[in-house]
Structure 1
Amino acid sequence: MLNMDEIREIIKLIDQSSIDEFTYETSGATISMKKNENTVSQTPEKEVHKKVQSADTPSLVDIKPEIQEEPKEEQTEIKIDYDYEIVSPMVGTLYSAPSPEREAYVTVGSKVEKDSIVCIVEAMKLFNEIEAEVKGEIVEILVEDGELVEYGQPLFRVKTK
Structure 2
Amino acid sequence: MNKIEEIKEYISLLENSSLSVLEIEKEDGTKIHLEKEHPAQQIFNASPIGAYQPTATDVPTPAPVQPQAPAAQPAAPEEDAKTVNAPIVGVFYAASAPGKAPFAPVGKKVSKGSTVCIIEAMKCMNEIQAEDDYEIVEVLVKDGDLVEYGQPLFKVK
1:106 maps to what in 2? 104
Give me the whole-angstrom Cα distance separating, in 2, the residues matched to 1:78 and 1:68. Answer: 26
- Please state how far the C-alpha of 1:68 moved relative to its aligned partner: 7.8
1:131 maps to what in 2? 129
- Please state how far the C-alpha of 1:100 moved relative to its aligned partner: 0.7
- Please state how far the C-alpha of 1:82 moved relative to its aligned partner: 3.4
Aligned to 2:116, the other structure's residue is in SS state strand
1:121 maps to what in 2? 119
2:91 maps to what in 1? 93
**Bigger strand share:** 1
Equivalent in 130, 147, 152 of residue 149 of structure 1: 147
Letter of the 2:101 partner, please give it.
Answer: E
Q: How large is the Cα RMSD of the aligned pairs?
A: 3.1
Give me the whole-angstrom Cα distance separating, in 1, the residues matched to 2:106 and 2:55. Answer: 57
Aligned to 1:97, the other structure's residue is in SS state coil
Q: Which deviates more, 105-114 or 74-83?
A: 74-83
Unaligned runs of at least 5 residues, structure 2 = 1-53
Aligned to 2:104, the other structure's residue is in SS state coil
Letter of the 1:67 partner, please give it.
Answer: Q
TM-score by length of 1: 0.53
2:12 maps to what in 1? none
Give me the whole-angstrom Cα distance separating, in 1, the residues matched to 2:79 and 2:142. Answer: 20
Distance 1:78-1:84 versus aligned 2 partners, 3 A rule: closer
Unaligned runs of at least 5 residues, structure 1 = 8-25, 32-41, 44-64
Distance 1:68-1:100 versus aligned 2 partners, 3 A rule: farther
1:67 pairs with 2:66? yes
Give me the whole-angstrom Cα distance separating, in 2, the residues matched to 1:98 and 1:145. Answer: 11
How big is each residue's C-alpha offset from its partner over 1:27-59, in whole Å with a ceiling of 9 and x where there is no partner?
A: xxx65xxxxxxxxxx33xxxxxxxxxxxxxxxx
Distance 1:104-1:75 versus aligned 2 partners, 3 A rule: farther
The answer to whether the 8 Å contact 1:88/1:149 transfers is: yes
1:50 maps to what in 2? none
Distance 1:105-1:66 versus aligned 2 partners, 3 A rule: same
Give me the whole-angstrom Cα distance separating, in 1, the residues matched to 2:96 and 2:80. Answer: 26
- Percent identity, please: 44
- Please state how far the C-alpha of 1:109 moved relative to its aligned partner: 1.1
Q: Which has the larger radius of gyration?
A: 1
Give me the whole-angstrom Cα distance separating, in 2, the residues matched to 1:98 and 1:76. Answer: 36
Distance 1:85-1:69 versus aligned 2 partners, 3 A rule: same
Give me the whole-angstrom Cα distance separating, in 2, the residues matched to 1:75 and 1:107. Answer: 30
